[in-house]
Every structure is written in C-alpha cells, then in structure tokens.
Amino acid sequence: DHLAFADSFTIGTSRSQPRTYFREPLQPPADLERLLSGCPRELAAVIRETGQWNALRCRAWLSAPALRGLMRSLQHCGLWRLLERYREAEAPDECTYILPTNISWQDVDCDHVVSAGQVFNLEDIGLNKLAMLRRCGVQAIRQGKVGVVLLAGGANHRFGYGGEAAPPIGCNRSLPRLQSRKSILQLLCERIVRMGTLCAKAEEQRTPAVKASIPVLVMTSKLTHKRVVEQFEACGHFGLCPQDVVFFEQPVGPLLSEAGRLLPQSLGGEFAQ
C-alpha cells in the first residue's frame, strides 16, 4: 500500500515524457514474474510501472478465457490515466464559497443568462413579467432553440429495490407509486410532448399549426442503456418523434481504493466503477 503514502518520483517509460508519481519506487513482489506471465509485453510494462500487479492476484482461480478477459479489462482501464487522476485527487483543493445572488425580476429580460449562484423567487414575479417570459419561451421552442436532456444512467442498486433484475429507476413503473403506473421517463416525455402541442396551438390562429420539434437527449450508462432504449421503443417513444430522441452513454471508469489499487468487482475482469 505504498501508493497512497509514498512521495513522488520519476518513472522512465517508452513515451516521450517520463511520468512522475513517487519519490520512492514501489517494491515489486517476489512473485511478480509469475503474475505477469502470459501478459502482452506492453501491458506487463504498464503494470510494472503503475504498481497495479495486485489486480492479477486472482489469476490462480481463473480459467484461460477469464484470464484473457481480465487482461483485456486491464488494457481498457487506461492505467496511466487512472493514476494521473488519482494523484490529482490527492492534491488539496482551495475551495471558496460565495453566497447566492438574489436576482430581481426587474433585471430579467429575454437576453438574461442564468448562471450558477443566481436565485429567483417565483413568488415575487409579477403577472406581466410571467406572461412575457412565457411568450419568449414558447417562441424559442417554436424556433427550435430549446432541447431537453434526460439523465437515465443510474441503476437501482442503492435503493435495493428489486435487485439487479429490476428495471432502472427511470423505467420503473412501481417505484414512483403513482396510480397511473407511469415511469419517471414517461412522465417527463409526456410533458415535453404536451409543451410542443401547446406551442403549436399558441400560433395556429396566425400561421398554420406546426408541431414544435424539441430534441431530447437521453443519457444512459452501460448498466441501463439496453433497458432504457427498449422501453422507449416499446412505448412508441412516449409520443415523441423518434428522430428527435438521441441516446448516448455516459463514460465510466474503474475506481481506485484509498491505497490507489483497482477494486475488483468480479473474478472475470470487471472492476468497480
């Protein structure tokens, strides 16, 4: 466990720039050659230099295919990048705190940029200002200037609801406990559809009604992507135009322990993320 407490030193690598991490080199174990036997040459070199040889301790219990899977996982981990982030996380941060700014509605117009730390009291808004901002919002939607991002990357493991076989939180029809038995994703998508319909009706007396196109970006993860996409497809995208819905997976990376070691999640080469 030298990784968490040793000071930095320079490691020479085959890259153009040496990497500096510890003042005292990690002491390799006596059985290092046995642990690295069968590893591709580049992977073995990276494991030596980053000190992540403990990830191979389970090889004695692995079949040949499982061992190859473990090596692939180690190659995909980006061990140098992980170690760089670990060292950055160890550096103390100087944090400052600024009290939120209360913004008067008189100072808010169509060009106002909302930023972090601004507070708006809805109770203080006048009816005229509210109507004006709503008109601006409807116009922005009709002009295709508004998009929505839905976050659906979280699984239900923290809630302990139904185990790993249960659908993700956003797709779960039982967890919100609504009489309609609708999932959170369905409720949100139906609100987006309704907003598009209202925006079309707002102008239909002046111009032919055109349904507003509101892009919906759905962020998933490798834990939820398949289930989320399947629910959208099975439910006809909840009334949204399929061309307006885009799915993308959030990146995930392995976690390191306080000692800077990879945290194995299974013997087959999966690491905690």
Instruction: Assess whether 46 and 120 both reside in one domain.
Output: no
Residue-level pLDDT at 25: 55
Instruction: Give the total residue count for the chain.
Output: 273
pLDDT of the residue at 251: 80
Q: Answer yes or no: is 272 within a domain.
A: no
The rounded distance, in Å, linking the Cα atoms of 67 and 38 is 10
Structural domain span for residue 120: 106-142
Do 228 and 168 fall into the same domain? yes
pLDDT for residue 6 = 34
Each residue's pLDDT expressed in tens, for the chain with a length of 273 residues? 233 333 333 333 344 444 444 434 568 888 889 889 889 999 899 888 888 888 888 888 888 888 888 888 888 888 888 878 777 766 666 667 788 888 899 888 888 888 888 899 988 999 999 999 888 888 889 888 999 999 988 876 666 555 556 778 788 887 777 788 888 999 999 999 999 888 887 555 555 556 778 999 999 988 889 999 999 999 999 999 999 999 999 887 777 777 777 776 554 455 555
Distance between CA atoms of residues 268 and 65, nearest Å: 9
Closest among 97, 22, 81, 3 to 253, alpha carbons compared: 81
pLDDT of residue 22: 45
Statement to judge: residues 76 and 155 lie in one domain: no
Q: CA-CA distance, 224 to 151, in Å (whole number)? A: 11
Q: What does the pLDDT read at residue 7? A: 36
Query: What's the number of domains the chain is made of?
Result: 3
Domain membership flag for residue 154: yes
Q: Identify each DSSP E strand in the chain by its residue range.
A: 8-11, 19-22, 101-102, 118-119, 148-151, 216-220, 245-249
Question: Which DSSP category does 14 fall into?
Answer: S
Same domain for 123 and 39, yes or no, is no
Three-class SS of residue 8? Answer: strand
Same-domain check for residues 110 and 75: no
Let me know if residue 52 belongs to a domain. Answer: yes
Same domain, 204 and 191: yes
Domain membership of residue 33 (yes or no) is: yes
User: Which helix (DSSP H) or strand (DSSP E) does residue 12 occupy?
Assistant: none
For residues 170 and 194, state if they share a domain: yes
Are residues 137 and 151 located together in one domain of the fold?
A: no
